[in-house]
Amino acid sequence: MSVAVLTIVKDRGEHLRQVLAGLARSDRAPDEVVIVDMGLHPLDIPTTGLPITVLRLPDSGLPLAKARNRAARHAQADNLIFLDVDCIPANDLIGRLGMALDGINALICADVRYLPANPANSSWSEAALHEAGHAHPARIFPDEGLRAEPNPGLFWSLAFGVRKMAFDTLGGFDERFTGYGGEDTDFGFRARAAGLPLLFLGGGAGAFHQHHGVYDPPLQHVADIVRNAGLFREIWGVWPMGDWLARFNALGLIDSREDGIALLRLPTHEECEAARKPGEARF
């Protein structure tokens, strides 16, 4: 069946160039590539020979759910592969994910290895990315084949595949989630509620996450996280992102109660800088 690769981007032109370079090297070329550009100023898209469509969704914020849904609505392929703009695909990712989706109707996540700063440039080799990449400590992928993952909270949108019909049946991502945090976990929960299994794809790295600055906790997104966490609890009856909320509470940014969370103040510049991890940090 046909495969579309969907990528959303905001002001990360160099990351996007590396993603497209990876797709151009793929063993199995995508039948279409749909890019949703959320930046206020449009990016220059390099010429690659790929069948690329660029959709504009300029926004001062991060309409992640809306952008993914728009890409999916435009795609004509049977299978959808969502690839984060930070993620360079391995040369066999499109083929392996596409084949897996041909065989089973599921939400399938690919293994993503995190790169240190500046290993990827126009002359990168996949062997070098394999050498430099580190697995995410919270997600265990099988050596081969597919493994059922019972925890829907471990779904991630960095690199995943789903049949277009299944995505449409789920209604896509919930666009009430805006900004950073929560929309991935909600999508995983809705897939489980609909009986769509979450599977992890083995066989080695599916993509390589390009390095960018990391804040732990992500204080710069505290308002988004608090709002989206409250929406998630209204829907599912549990709090997501519990570790971040606990740390926001310890800093006096929020007031947590049984019936909700109040945002007391935004973090100071000094607090944000203290949360910035060293330059080589990957997670």
Q: Is the pLDDT of residue 102 over 60?
A: yes
> pLDDT tens across 183-221, in order?
999 999 999 999 999 999 999 889 999 988 788 899 999
Q: Does residue 59 have a pLDDT over 60?
A: yes
- Sign of torsion over alpha carbons 177, 89, 161, 241: negative
- Digit-coded pLDDT (tens) for 209-258: 998 878 889 999 999 999 999 999 999 999 999 899 999 999 999 998 77
| Distance in angstroms (rounded) separating the CA atoms of residues 182 and 187 | 9
| The predicted structure's pLDDT at residue 58 | 96
HSE toward the beta carbon, residue 101, CA cutoff 13 A: 28
Contact criterion met (CB below 8 Å) for 244 and 261: no
Phi, psi angle pair for 157, to nearest 5°:
-95, 5
Which is more confident, 281 or 278? 278
Residues 47-57 have a mean pLDDT of 95
Delineate the domains of the chain, giving CATH numbers in brackets. Answer: 3-209 (3.90.550.10), 219-275 (no CATH)
Distance CA 160, CA 170 (A): 15
**% residues pLDDT > 70 (the chain):** 96
Model confidence at 267, pLDDT cuts 50, 70, 90, reads: very high
